[in-house]
Amino acid sequence: MAAKIMVPTRPIRETVQPQSRFKVRGGPAGIHIFHRATGLNVLLDEVNVPSASWAAAPRQVSVALTNACDLACAFCYAPKIPATLPFERVMRWLDELDANGCIGVGFGGGEPTLYPRLADLCQYAAQKTALAVSLTTHAHRFDDQLASCLAGNVHFVRVSMDGVGATYESIRGRSFAALRGRLEIVRTVARFGINFVVNSQTLSDLDAATALAAEVGAAEFLLLPEQPVRGSRGIDTLTAEFFRRWVRQYRGTVPLTVSEAGAYDLPICDPFASETALRAYAHIDASGVVKRSSYDSNGEAIGEDGVMQALEILRSRSKGDIR
């Protein structure tokens, strides 16, 4: 006989303290238990959580700290207008998101290592909230000093590596050998993964890139089929077909993940299929506008009432969102 799990009537998020080893989140998919240091996820999907106890914040929020970047990749979605988020405002948003059941926050840009107080912000998020802290970077600014400042305050690092060798260098305009050296520094900070934009230029490098990811100890290989941006058409039909075939034949040791926008017709496992839209993810751009995704052109400016109020306004305008 199975034991019945009693679900509290108050929101589950209120039971979590910043110093807790595990964070517990209630939602339409069930009860999600997460350990930010190890990345362990447990979903109790047989538990029917009352809607009144669902976490109000998205499960994951990405924050573009700045639009500044010292590279110029053609497929980059970040706006090219100067913008940087004030440190104190971001701290307040982190407190709000944490208190309302957000599991993790990802700092990006632009290039987040160009943000003047990145180390301070990561330390605040790690020490004063229960949020998992991740960082998406091209890694070329990583050195021993930065690694020392971030160690213990970042739980996962995502390194953008589109292609290997000459392909990477033609896209990023930086030495691939130098990147390989930076990965050795990144791995001293936290678990890390590789972000790989898939298009006709990078497709043929997938085998070599995943082999390198295994060699350097990457925990994840995130596939990002190129999206249309600023006149770019994104991944073409023929490349997408070959890409899907490659995924189905993949036998490497590094786990594959894929962006939601590029997951069409791929053999994916989504335990949070019932937790979609703004309950799953939101993006805050460097101008302080919260959006449904980093590619979305519309959003809601975060005002004095805070990020949760802006999210609620955006959610009310979003058709098909699960309430």
> Which range of residues forms the domain containing residue 32?
12-53
Residue in 30, 38, 35 with CA at minimum distance from that of residue 12: 30
* Exposure letters 129-168 (e unless 16+ CB within 10 A, then b): bbbbbbbbbbbbebeeebbebbeebbbbbbbbbbbbeebb
Q: Does 82 lie in the same domain as 28?
A: no
- 123 and 252 co-located in one domain: yes
Residue 3 lies in a domain: no
Whether 39 and 112 share a structural domain: no
35 and 173 together in one domain: no
Give yes or no: residues 235 and 130 share one domain: yes
* Cβ-based burial of 32 (10 A; exposed 0-12, middle 13-18, buried ≥19): buried
pLDDT in tens, 151-180: 999 999 999 999 999 999 999 999 999 999
Same domain, 268 and 133: yes
Does residue 206 form part of some domain?
yes
Q: Are residues 34 and 72 in the same domain?
A: no
Q: What's this model's pTM, rounded to 2 decimal places? A: 0.89
Whether 7 is in a domain gets the answer no
In order of 24, 70, 105, 150, 318, the CA distances from 144 in angstroms are 34, 20, 24, 10, 44
Question: Per the domain annotation, does 117 fall within a domain?
Answer: yes
Please count the structural domains in the chain. Answer: 2
Asked if 209 and 68 sit in the same domain, the reply is yes
Would residue 281 count as lying in a domain? yes
Residue 322 lies in a domain: no
Q: Kindly state whether residues 157 and 37 are assigned to the same domain.
A: no
DSSP strand pairing (191-198 vs 220-225): parallel
pLDDT along the chain (323 residues), means of 10: 32 44 91 93 95 96 94 72 95 98 96 97 96 97 97 96 95 95 97 96 97 97 87 86 94 93 80 90 96 90 97 83 44
Could you report the per-residue pLDDT of 63-116, keeping only the tens digit for each? 999 999 888 777 666 677 889 999 999 999 999 999 999 999 999 999 999 999
Is residue 323 one of the residues assigned to a domain? no
CATH code where residue 273 lies: 3.20.20.70
Residue 95 lies in a domain: yes
My answer on whether 46 and 85 are in the same domain is: no
Q: Are residues 34 and 102 in the same domain?
A: no
Shared domain for 33 and 91, answered yes or no, is: no
